[in-house]
């Protein structure tokens, strides 16, 4: 009797499904689609996924006083630009490019931007890792702030954020060889600014 009732019960009519943001978006395509639909959950997830790196990059390029302002500008650009984002690069690459561009534009408005030339230089080794220097972290931050903006950007992307030369080149929209050259020059200048550390002698 129970089976007969179950078989004769009509299936419920469902309304056309409306796209929703799942609790855990599995890939960039879903996240982008959700943001393009104007779904608050998707925009919130994108913001929280990238906020630390965006703020960290901005902090090291423009300094602590302006980092929050630049980070906010980046996310304004992100949400405005998602509709036109074609996916030619990874979402993260695009967002980091916006971060670097917004940071350099901010410095330009302050009259501090200095361009890095495309000239090739001989490779310069990175400064050696040195421990047990309690003032080293502050010295590094000070030296980083004294670097030309272009040097600072590549140093932050590669040595601080750990991105590959290929990823850095995609973000900075330059050749990999140019990226490597800029990095070597930035490291050399950083070494000059830091001076002898950890018991090094000239």
Residue 5 lies in a domain: no
pLDDT value for 77? 95
Same domain, 36 and 95: yes
pTM, two decimal places:
0.68
Residues 146, 34: Cα–Cα separation, whole Å: 41
| Residue 12 maps to a domain | no
* Residues of the chain under the 50 pLDDT cut: 1-2, 4-6, 9, 11-25, 113-132, 199-202
148 and 100: one domain?
no
Query: Which residue segment(s) compose the domain that 160 sits in?
Result: 136-194
Same domain assignment for residues 44 and 97: yes
Contact between 157 and 164 (Cβ < 8 Å): no
* pLDDT tens column, 4-44: 444 554 544 444 444 444 444 458 899 999 999 999 999 99
10 in a structural domain: no
Same domain (yes/no): 142, 181: yes
In a domain, 19, yes or no: no
Together in a domain, 37 and 105: yes
Q: What is the pLDDT of residue 13?
A: 45
Q: What is the pLDDT of residue 26?
A: 56
Among candidate residues 64, 79, 17, 57, the one with its CA nearest the CA of residue 154: 57
pLDDT at 139: 83
In angstroms, the CA 179 to CA 26 distance is 32
């Amino acid at each position: 009797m129970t089976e007969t009732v179950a078989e004769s019960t009509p299936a419920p009519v469902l309304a056309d499904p409306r796209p929703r943001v799942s609790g855990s978006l599995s890939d960039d395509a879903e996240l982008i689609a959700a943001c393009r639909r104007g779904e608050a959950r998707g925009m919130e997830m994108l913001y929280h996924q990238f906020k630390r790196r965006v703020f960290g990059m901005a902090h090291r390029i423009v300094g602590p006083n302006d980092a929050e302002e630049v980070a906010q500008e980046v996310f304004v650009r992100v949400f405005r630009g998602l509709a036109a984002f074609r996916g030619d690069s990874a979402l993260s690459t695009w967002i980091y490019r916006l971060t670097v561009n917004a940071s350099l534009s901010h410095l330009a408005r302050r009259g501090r931007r200095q361009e890095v030339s495309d000239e090739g230089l001989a490779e310069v080794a990175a400064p050696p890792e040195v421990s047990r220097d309690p003032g080293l972290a502050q010295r590094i931050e000070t030296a980083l702030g004294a670097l030309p903006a272009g040097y600072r950007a590549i140093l932050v992307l590669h040595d601080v954020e750990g991105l590959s030369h290929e990823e850095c080149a995609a973000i900075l929209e330059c050749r990999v060889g140019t990226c490597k050259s800029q990095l070597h020059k930035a490291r050399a200048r950083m070494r000059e600014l830091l001076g002898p550390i950890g018991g090094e002698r000239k």
